[in-house]
Amino acid sequence: MTLINGLRGALTLPLLAVVASATWCTPAAHADNDNDTVIPNNKRLNDSVFANIYTAQKQNGCVANPHLDGRLVEAARRHTFDVRDNRDVNGDIGSDGSTPQERANAAGFTGNLAETVAINPALAISGIEILNQWWYDPPSRATMQDCRYTAIGVWSENLLDRSVVVAVYGQPATT
């Protein structure tokens, strides 16, 4: 019995050192929107939202394949931060009075567009919660299924008590 207690005591200090080292040396988490899983990010959520839009269009008989457009991703990103950080903003109009069209134009996109916004009063939001907000809302569903919108931008951000997803749908101007 004394030998076991001696071993337990001898192992406690090294184990404590390993746990303390792991705790103190762990980097702060931040979203970087790439595909690694070492640093938490929303890339997989954003990709799944795009996949749901793609599927909605295909189920609606759309022939053209929608694609991610970096300019619309930027417009979605800008509005996502605005909605996340300003509790009185809960739709298309930004805290500065900007419209989805103005944000897309500022990002360099020309053409017609629409936008859907999902807000969840929690740390996280799932693809199912997003679909529940958009699919069962007739105007949002019509936007998701609209075959004219072939350029898509999606962004999401989270706070402890608010998660926001914005999708911007663009019909590129013909030249």
Flag whether 33 is in a domain. Answer: no
Query: What pLDDT does residue 2 have?
Result: 60
Measure the CA–CA gap between 140 and 117, rounded to whole angstroms. 9
Q: Is 28's pLDDT higher than 90? A: no
3-state secondary structure of 84: helix
Flag whether 114 is in a domain. Answer: yes
Q: Is 35's pLDDT higher than 80? A: no
Flag whether 167 is in a domain. Answer: yes
Look up the domain containing 68 and give its range: 43-172
- Whose structure tokens read 């969840």? 120
Tokens coding 52? 């749901």
Flag whether 166 is in a domain. Answer: yes
Q: Is 22's pLDDT higher than 50? A: no
Higher pLDDT, 119 or 174: 119
Flag whether 168 is in a domain. Answer: yes
Measure the CA–CA gap between 162 and 93, rounded to whole angstroms. 18
CATH of the domain at 166: 3.40.33.10
Answer for the pair 46, 156: CB distance below 8 angstroms, yes or no.
yes
Flag whether 100 is in a domain. Answer: yes
What's the total number of domains in the chain? 1
Q: Is 90's pLDDT higher than 60? A: yes
Question: Using 50, 70 and 90 to split pLDDT, how confident is the model at 1?
Answer: low
Flag whether 145 is in a domain. Answer: yes
Flag whether 21 is in a domain. Answer: no
